[in-house]
Structures are given as C-alpha cells and as structure tokens.
C-alpha cells in the first residue's frame, strides 16, 4: 500500500488541506533531522524558536511561513484540519487486514494524531469554553469522549493485531471518532461561535497549532 511506510501521510489520499501539509512537513523527517531543520520546515523564514505561553508550556513560534497561514485561520478551521486527517486515517485503518505493516503504520499514525489533537484541543478550545455557561457542559462531554477514544486505543494496543477482535475494536474506534467529530462540527462549533470573540477565534487557532505541532514532535 505504501511506497514508504514511514511516511503514510504522503501516500494516503485523505484530502489534507494545505495547512496540514505544511505543519506535518516536519514529520516526514527523522527526529534529529527535523529538529535541526525546524526553522525551514516551519516556513523557510527566520524567527522560529521556543516560547512559553501563559500557562508556562513550551511551544513553537514562527514569524512567517506556517504562522502566516495560521494567522488567517480561526479555531474552527484549525480543528477541522486535524478532523479530516483523523477521518482519512480511520477509514484506511478499518480496510486493513491481518497483522500487516500497513495496519501497524496506520494505527500508530492515527494514535499519534488523536493524542496530539486532543491535547491541543482541550487546552485551547475546551478549557476556554468551560468558562462560559452555554458551552460548559458540551465541552466537558467532548473531553469525556477523548478519554473514551484513549481507552479504545489502549485496547487496540493490547489486542493481537491479527485477531478478529482487533478489527472489531478498530471499527468501534472509527465509529467513536466520526461521532465525536460530527458532534463538534455540528453542535459545539455553533455554540462556541456565539461565545468567542473574533480575536479569540484567531488567537486560539494560533495557540492550538503551536501545541499540536509541539505534541507531534514528541515522538
């Protein structure tokens, strides 16, 4: 299925948006290489470096390239970028068979995408929304669904990838992912649009993307 199993994003036709292609350009490199080439991978411009946000978290900051695109995105557009990646990977995963390399690569990529997205989304989308009465309960429900997906991922890790039980759990995870994303895009996004200012929508997108990339680079 893959010409290069280490780079599944390159060969999967999952409709990634241009911003996603740019932000994951780092992930096509080996860890030592991507750390050395971090400024170029983020935008071919100087001004990329570590910074700490208000919570004290070490993140990524760029003066151009990727950041220039992020500045034009709001939080909903930023979140949808990862949503499309998750849908594509989940669809591809349940089409695999046996204890194959394709299955292993796709599962690891989906697991990493889900973890990075959840960490960034909870910090820079759900936490701000919990401060508003209108979005407090939906946000807590969204975080709870993240935990449910984590449990399914852990179950897959402990299950023999060649067994029928594995694909059954993978299909359950697929269903949970699609259900969760639909709830967000058709429900929470509309409520969040009412409580967040336009400036907040833009600033949260920038913070989310920085956290997302930082989380992905942990691997």
Nearest by Cα to 206 from 22, 46, 62 = 62
Q: Give the number of other CB atoms < 10 A from CB of residue 98.
A: 11
Count of domains for the chain: 1
Q: What is the CATH number of the domain that holds 20?
A: 1.20.120
H/E stretch holding 60 reads strand 58-61
Is the pTM here over 0.75, yes or no?
A: no
In a domain, 1, yes or no: no
- Structural domain boundaries, residue 24: 8-216
pLDDT per residue over 99-117, tens digit each? 999 999 999 999 999 999 9
Residues 212, 60: Cα–Cα separation, whole Å: 9
- The distance in angstroms from the start CA to the end CA of the chain is 23
In a domain, 2, yes or no: no
Q: Is the alpha carbon torsion for 132, 79, 217, 94 positive or negative?
A: positive
In a domain, 156, yes or no: yes
Of residues 47 and 182, which shows the higher confidence score? 182
Measured CA to CA in angstroms, residue 141 lies from 30, 190, 207 at distances of: 37, 15, 22
In a domain, 127, yes or no: yes
pLDDT per residue over 125-137, tens digit each? 999 999 999 999 9
In a domain, 44, yes or no: yes
In a domain, 134, yes or no: yes
């Amino acid at each position: 299925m893959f010409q290069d199993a280490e780079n599944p994003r390159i060969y999967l036709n999952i409709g990634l948006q241009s911003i996603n292609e740019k932000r994951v350009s780092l992930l096509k490199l080996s860890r030592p290489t991507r750390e050395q080439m971090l400024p170029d991978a983020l935008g071919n411009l100087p001004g990329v470096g570590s910074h700490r946000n208000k919570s004290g978290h070490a993140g990524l900051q760029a003066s151009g390239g990727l950041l220039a695109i992020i500045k034009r995105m709001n939080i909903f557009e930023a979140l949808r970028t990862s949503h499309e990646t998750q849908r594509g990977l989940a669809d591809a995963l349940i089409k695999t068979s046996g204890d194959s390399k394709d299955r292993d690569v796709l599962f690891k990529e989906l697991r990493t995408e889900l973890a990075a997205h959840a960490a960034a989304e909870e910090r820079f989308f759900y936490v701000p929304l919990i401060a508003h009465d209108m979005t407090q309960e939906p946000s807590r429900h969204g975080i709870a669904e993240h935990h449910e997906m984590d449990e399914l991922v852990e179950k897959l890790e402990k299950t023999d990838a060649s067994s029928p039980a594995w694909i059954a759990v993978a299909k359950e995870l697929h269903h949970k992912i699609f259900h969760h994303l639909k709830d967000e895009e058709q429900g929470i996004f509309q409520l969040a649009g009412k409580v967040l200012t336009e400036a907040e929508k833009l600033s949260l997108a920038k913070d989310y993307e920085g956290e997302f990339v930082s989380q992905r680079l942990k691997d």
